[in-house]
Amino acid sequence: MKKILEDVRVLDFTHVWFGPYCTMLLAELGAEVILVEPPWGNIGRMGPGELFKNTRTSTSFYSLNQNKKGIAVDMKNPEGIALVKDLVKESDIVVQNYVPGVMERLGLGYEDCKKIKPDLIYAGLSGFGQTGPYREYASYAVIAEAMSGHSYANGNPAEPGGKPKSLAGAIGDLAPGTMAAFAICAALRYRDKTGLGQSIDVNQLDTMVSYNTPSTTDFSLFGETSAERRRKRQLNPDPDQPTQPQQIWGLIPCKDGWVQVAGSRPKAMEELKKFLGTDEVDINSIKTKLSEMTKKEAFDWLVQFGFPAAPIYQAHEAMNDPHVIDHNMFVEVEHPLAGKYKTPNFPVHYSLTPGEVTSACPVLGQHTEWVLTNILKKTPEQVASLEQSGAISCWRK
């Protein structure tokens, strides 16, 4: 076995960010992921993210659908839905992130699919879950971030009534997507031991609430927020700044940007004092010194004493960091229409079964013919008939 999930087939009915990131992680671990789209493409092709040149596909779709095969099937066409149900029978996992009720109306809910494939693992991803008063409400990353307390904490909690701020990078999608991939792998383990599949309900709100456990547990214990307690103790309530002047902590400006310092390690403080020939060091004197350096110089200067520190990069700058390069975190793939581009590799390093990015996202309908002929054993004549009827769409060079 070269890949952990190399004997697993996933039927992927996901779109936008949350679901596609989950299934992409499975694909990078070796699963055969078949992305099912309508012949006109799923909404993720249109954004978020700018459309790339003449490919009619958003940059976010390129980044979230690597390693997948793509088929185009009209699930409102009787022949199309029959094909999809045949693929359910040949799959180990179904992942979908439609609003609860949509797949049931198509005859592709868990109970429907379980009749086709009794040991199927079926992951229903949504904003608020398959049950509860909000189950049918629409959601995106920012909604889950807002309701779980992250947007408030990311804004200005230092002041009462401080303005909240949405998180950058759709963490409310990517974090639940990671949790969903983890849950699916756990369900696979259970099936390996018992032979039983099951339904998995993964939603953005519950996941983001769980990721805010320090804040909610803290409040449950003390009955007030950490910012309120810091104000009472007359400490700086701004989490980006040190609570006391003698702490070396926070966001510090340099000649060409900023560095982040998360210090106050006793040994690092003693090394710094020794270097500066002083008994006391405060944040203001360090700020003055770092203001004369580039962020690279400031980073090198701080880490020599043992401070946890980092240059504050724009995302593309990380691509050229020597440590990131050493970890092979960006790989080049080639798309049939867009050409070559670099994209993040699988971020976890296994000693025997490495995950990796090996192919770009699919062109709409790129693998329809391959999937139908190789998995469903359709003849070329049957594929042509299905295509002519509008049940499927095939991309050919």
What the block records as the tokens of 303 is 């880490």
Catalytic residue among 173, 201, 240, 282: 173
Q: Which of 123, 119, 11, 114 is nearest to 69 (CA)?
A: 11
Say how far apart CA 133 and CA 118 lie, in whole Å. 30
* Residue-wise burial string across 104-142, b where 16 or more C-beta atoms lie within 10 A, e elsewhere: eebebbbeebbebbeebbbbbbbbbbbeeebbeeebbbb
Question: Hey, is 225 helix, strand or coil?
Answer: coil
Phi, psi of 95 (to 5 degrees): -125, 130
Catalytic residue list contains 173 = yes
Instruction: Give one word for 326, left, alpha or beta, with left for phi > 0 and alpha for psi -120 to 50.
Output: alpha
Contact 259, 299 (CB under 8 A): yes
Say how far apart CA 299 and CA 260 lie, in whole Å. 9
Say how far apart CA 262 and CA 313 lie, in whole Å. 16
Contact 288, 281 (CB under 8 A): no
Contact 67, 24 (CB under 8 A): yes
Say how far apart CA 353 and CA 271 lie, in whole Å. 41
Measured from the Cβ of residue 91, the count of other Cβ atoms closer than 10 Å reads: 24
Instruction: Give one word for 154, left, alpha or beta, with left for phi > 0 and alpha for psi -120 to 50.
Output: alpha
Assess whether the previous peptide bond of 266 is cis (omega < 30° from 0): no
Say how far apart CA 162 and CA 155 lie, in whole Å. 7
Question: Hey, is 336 helix, strand or coil?
Answer: coil
Positions marked catalytic: 173
